[in-house]
Each structure stands twice: as structure tokens, then as C-alpha cells.
């Protein structure tokens, strides 16, 4: 199991635009379609990564809780499905339904969106403010498969709560750790 860290896109970076197909609704979606009134969480995930499988219950719970408060959520998979067929769009749709995602699960067929966000791993989390400026990037919490630390979502939760309260988010942020994005060969 590879342990690839986030690249840590500079804070304040404007969220790159995208237009990708939602594997559940099969509709094209842009950043403006998923943007929350108060903030937006963009997650790079995939179906097969043990790190993502580990955090799925927490990301579903956080989305349900924070979407009601004005935070938009979206997940994007950018993996090479030729070499990793378990991440194919039709299986993404199944994963979204099985995990109870209340957010779109988009497929980045060209990997251009992952490159624009400087995404490196799955899961990779980005929180943008109401003006779509990067306020947080990094880990969900300290839990990893097999490390015995329970899932809490604490790092991302603290950032979202601070954003909602208009408080400063600490720039001392830990990178996420996960499987590397499966780039085209």
C-alpha cells in the first residue's frame, strides 16, 4: 500500500474551473454547480484505494452535516481506468450509492483537473472559502488503515467550522496520505 502525501497547493489559490461528468446523474457539472454558499470541499478519491475505503463513512457523514450549513461537497476520481478498471465510472456510480454520497462523484477522464489542483493522492482534501480561495488542504484526520486511531474528521471539521464562523484557519496543516493518483502511462 503506497503512502503518497498531498502536494499542498498554496493557500489562497483560486479553485480551478472544471466541467466533468457526474457518474451518478450522468450530467456534466461545473465548479459553479457544486459551489457552496459559504465554502466548498473538493475531494480527490477513487473506488479501490484502502485509504479512501477507510474514510468513506466519515466523508459521507461530514457532507450530510456540513451541506446543511452551506458547504458544498464534490468528489473527483482521476485514476487511469484502463490499468485500474475497478475505478471505472460505472463502478464509481455503484460506490456512490453504496456509500450514501450526498454529493456528486465526478470522473476526470483526462486527468487535467487533478493536475490543475496539483492533486497527488487519494484521498486529497481541499476546502475553498465563499470566494473560492483555498483555505485548507490536507488530511481528514490522523486515522489511517491499521493505525488504530479512530476516524474523527477532526482536521477538516475544524477548518470548516472556522470558515463558517469567519475565524482564521491555522496555516499549520498536515498533508493527506494515501494511494498515489494512477496517472496515465
pLDDT in tens, 135-179: 999 999 999 999 999 999 999 999 999 999 999 999 999 999 999
pLDDT in tens, 59-71: 999 999 999 999 9
| Angstrom distance (rounded) from CA 52 to CA 71 | 21
Residue 90 has phi, psi (to 5 degrees) of -65, -30
Contact 26, 105 (CB under 8 A): no
Residue 162 has phi, psi (to 5 degrees) of -60, -45
* H helix runs in the chain, sequence order: 31-34, 50-67, 89-99, 112-116, 154-165
pLDDT at 1 over 70: no
What's the CA angle centered on 24, arms 23 and 30, to 5 degrees? Answer: 65
pLDDT for position 94: 98
| Angstrom distance (rounded) from CA 1 to CA 9 | 24
**pTM for the structure as a whole:** 0.97
Contact 71, 38 (CB under 8 A): yes
pLDDT for position 185: 81
Q: Among candidates 123, 129, 139, which has minimal Cα distance to 174?
A: 139
Q: Regarding beta strands 71-77 and 39-44, do their DSSP bridges make them parallel or antiparallel, or are they unpaired?
A: parallel
Tell me if residue 130 falls in helix, strand or coil. Answer: coil
pLDDT in tens, 10-57: 999 999 999 999 999 999 999 999 999 999 999 999 999 999 999 999
Bridge partners of 77, per DSSP, are 107
Angle separating helix axes 50-67 and 154-165, nearest 10 degrees: 30
Average pLDDT over residues 180-184: 96
Tell me if residue 10 falls in helix, strand or coil. Answer: coil
Amino acid at each position: 500500500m503506497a503512502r503518497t502525501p498531498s502536494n499542498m497547493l498554496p493557500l489562497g489559490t483560486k479553485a480551478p474551473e472544471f466541467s466533468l461528468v457526474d457518474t451518478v446523474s450522468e450530467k456534466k457539472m461545473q465548479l459553479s454547480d457544486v459551489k457552496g454558499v459559504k465554502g466548498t470541499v473538493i475531494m480527490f478519491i477513487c473506488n479501490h484505494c484502502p485509504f479512501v475505503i477507510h474514510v468513506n463513512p466519515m466523508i459521507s457523514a461530514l457532507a450530510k452535516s456540513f451541506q446543511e450549513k452551506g458547504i458544498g461537497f464534490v468528489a473527483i476520481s482521476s485514476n487511469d481506468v484502463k490499468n485500474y478498471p475497478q475505478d471505472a465510472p460505472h463502478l464509481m456510480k455503484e460506490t456512490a450509492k453504496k456509500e450514501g454520497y450526498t454529493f456528486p462523484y465526478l470522473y476526470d477522464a483526462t486527468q487535467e483537473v487533478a493536475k490543475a489542483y496539483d492533486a497527488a493522492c487519494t484521498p486529497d482534501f481541499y476546502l475553498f472559502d465563499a470566494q473560492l480561495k483555498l483555505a485548507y488542504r490536507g488530511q481528514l484526520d490522523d486515522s489511517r488503515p491499521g493505525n488504530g486511531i479512530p476516524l474523527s474528521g477532526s482536521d477538516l471539521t475544524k477548518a470548516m467550522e472556522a470558515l463558517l464562523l469567519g475565524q482564521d484557519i491555522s496555516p499549520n496543516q498536515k498533508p493527506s496520505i494515501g494511494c498515489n493518483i494512477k496517472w496515465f502511462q
